[in-house]
Amino acid sequence: MAQLNNIRTVSVPSFGKLPLGGDPGTFAPSGYTREHVPGRLPEDGGYTEAGQPATLTLNINLLGGIDPQAINGIVNEDVTVRLADGQVHMLSQAWVSAVVEMGNDSAQITILANTSERIS
Protein backbone atom coordinates (compact mmCIF):
# COMPACT_ATOMS: atom_id res chain seq x y z
CA MET A 1 0.00 0.00 0.00
CA ALA A 2 1.42 3.39 -0.97
CA GLN A 3 2.03 6.02 1.67
CA LEU A 4 -0.24 9.04 1.36
CA ASN A 5 1.56 12.34 1.00
CA ASN A 6 0.44 14.84 3.61
CA ILE A 7 1.89 17.62 5.73
CA ARG A 8 4.26 16.27 8.38
CA THR A 9 5.58 19.49 10.00
CA VAL A 10 5.40 23.26 9.53
CA SER A 11 8.12 25.48 11.02
CA VAL A 12 8.21 29.25 11.42
CA PRO A 13 11.48 30.89 12.58
CA SER A 14 9.86 33.20 15.15
CA PHE A 15 7.48 30.53 16.50
CA GLY A 16 9.06 27.12 15.95
CA LYS A 17 7.04 24.06 14.90
CA LEU A 18 3.31 24.62 14.76
CA PRO A 19 1.24 22.03 16.70
CA LEU A 20 -0.67 20.44 13.83
CA GLY A 21 -4.01 18.71 14.38
CA GLY A 22 -4.94 15.17 13.33
CA ASP A 23 -5.94 16.48 9.88
CA PRO A 24 -3.05 18.93 9.33
CA GLY A 25 -4.58 20.78 6.36
CA THR A 26 -3.65 21.53 2.77
CA PHE A 27 -0.71 23.02 0.87
CA ALA A 28 -0.74 24.47 -2.65
CA PRO A 29 2.64 25.68 -3.96
CA SER A 30 2.86 28.93 -5.89
CA GLY A 31 2.32 28.77 -9.61
CA TYR A 32 0.20 30.23 -12.36
CA THR A 33 -3.46 30.17 -13.32
CA ARG A 34 -4.22 30.28 -17.01
CA GLU A 35 -7.35 31.58 -18.70
CA HIS A 36 -8.36 30.78 -22.24
CA VAL A 37 -8.48 33.64 -24.72
CA PRO A 38 -10.51 32.73 -27.81
CA GLY A 39 -9.43 33.63 -31.33
CA ARG A 40 -11.39 34.09 -34.53
CA LEU A 41 -10.47 30.49 -35.40
CA PRO A 42 -9.85 27.79 -32.77
CA GLU A 43 -6.13 27.63 -33.59
CA ASP A 44 -5.85 31.44 -33.10
CA GLY A 45 -6.73 31.18 -29.40
CA GLY A 46 -4.29 31.32 -26.54
CA TYR A 47 -4.18 32.02 -22.84
CA THR A 48 -3.18 34.62 -20.29
CA GLU A 49 -1.25 33.85 -17.11
CA ALA A 50 -1.59 35.28 -13.62
CA GLY A 51 0.55 34.46 -10.60
CA GLN A 52 -1.03 32.32 -7.88
CA PRO A 53 0.42 32.59 -4.35
CA ALA A 54 1.38 29.59 -2.25
CA THR A 55 -1.41 28.75 0.20
CA LEU A 56 -1.01 26.77 3.40
CA THR A 57 -4.26 26.12 5.30
CA LEU A 58 -3.58 24.47 8.65
CA ASN A 59 -5.54 22.99 11.52
CA ILE A 60 -3.57 23.52 14.71
CA ASN A 61 -4.08 22.29 18.25
CA LEU A 62 -4.37 25.06 20.83
CA LEU A 63 -2.04 23.59 23.42
CA GLY A 64 -1.45 25.34 26.73
CA GLY A 65 0.93 28.25 26.24
CA ILE A 66 0.09 28.84 22.57
CA ASP A 67 -0.12 32.58 22.02
CA PRO A 68 -2.61 33.39 19.25
CA GLN A 69 -1.15 36.90 18.94
CA ALA A 70 2.24 35.35 18.13
CA ILE A 71 0.60 33.32 15.37
CA ASN A 72 -1.23 36.43 14.11
CA GLY A 73 2.14 38.21 14.09
CA ILE A 74 3.67 35.85 11.53
CA VAL A 75 4.68 38.18 8.72
CA ASN A 76 7.63 38.24 6.29
CA GLU A 77 8.88 34.84 7.52
CA ASP A 78 10.35 31.91 5.60
CA VAL A 79 7.94 29.10 6.49
CA THR A 80 9.15 25.52 5.97
CA VAL A 81 6.68 22.75 5.09
CA ARG A 82 7.87 19.13 5.35
CA LEU A 83 5.70 16.49 3.66
CA ALA A 84 5.41 12.82 4.64
CA ASP A 85 7.43 11.66 1.61
CA GLY A 86 10.41 13.84 2.60
CA GLN A 87 9.80 16.78 0.27
CA VAL A 88 10.52 20.15 1.84
CA HIS A 89 9.03 23.41 0.55
CA MET A 90 9.82 26.95 1.67
CA LEU A 91 7.30 29.77 1.49
CA SER A 92 9.38 32.95 1.20
CA GLN A 93 8.31 36.08 3.09
CA ALA A 94 5.04 34.41 4.16
CA TRP A 95 2.29 35.92 6.31
CA VAL A 96 -0.84 34.83 8.19
CA SER A 97 -3.78 36.14 6.17
CA ALA A 98 -6.51 36.34 8.85
CA VAL A 99 -6.84 36.61 12.62
CA VAL A 100 -6.68 33.23 14.40
CA GLU A 101 -9.98 32.34 16.05
CA MET A 102 -9.67 30.15 19.14
CA GLY A 103 -12.25 27.54 20.12
CA ASN A 104 -12.81 23.83 20.72
CA ASP A 105 -9.10 23.21 21.38
CA SER A 106 -8.18 23.94 17.76
CA ALA A 107 -7.89 26.74 15.24
CA GLN A 108 -7.52 27.09 11.51
CA ILE A 109 -4.92 29.42 10.03
CA THR A 110 -4.05 30.35 6.47
CA ILE A 111 -0.52 31.30 5.53
CA LEU A 112 0.16 32.91 2.14
CA ALA A 113 3.36 33.66 0.26
CA ASN A 114 3.87 35.14 -3.19
CA THR A 115 6.46 32.46 -3.97
CA SER A 116 7.38 29.01 -2.76
CA GLU A 117 10.10 26.62 -3.81
CA ARG A 118 10.91 22.99 -3.27
CA ILE A 119 14.22 22.86 -1.39
CA SER A 120 14.58 19.07 -1.11
pLDDT at 1: 44
Q: Does pLDDT of 2 surpass 70?
A: no
Q: What is the pLDDT of residues 40-99, one digit of tens each?
A: 998 899 999 999 999 999 999 988 888 888 899 999 999 999 999 999 999 999 999 998
Confirm whether 110 is domain-assigned: yes
> 82: domain range?
7-118
| Residue 4: band (very low, low, confident or very high) from pLDDT cuts 50, 70, 90 | low
- 33-42 confidence digits (pLDDT tens): 999 999 999 8
pTM of structure: 0.87
**Residue 87 domain-assigned?**
yes
The CATH number linked to 112 is 2.40.30
Residue 2 belongs to some domain of the structure? no
Q: Do residues 44 and 64 lie in contact, with contact meaning Cβ atoms separated by under 8 Å?
A: no
The count of domains in the chain is 1
7-12 and 20-28 beta bridge pairing: unpaired
Element (H, E) at 71: helix 68-72
| Residue 77 placed within a domain | yes
CA distances from 53 to 3, 12, 71, 93 (A): 27, 18, 20, 11
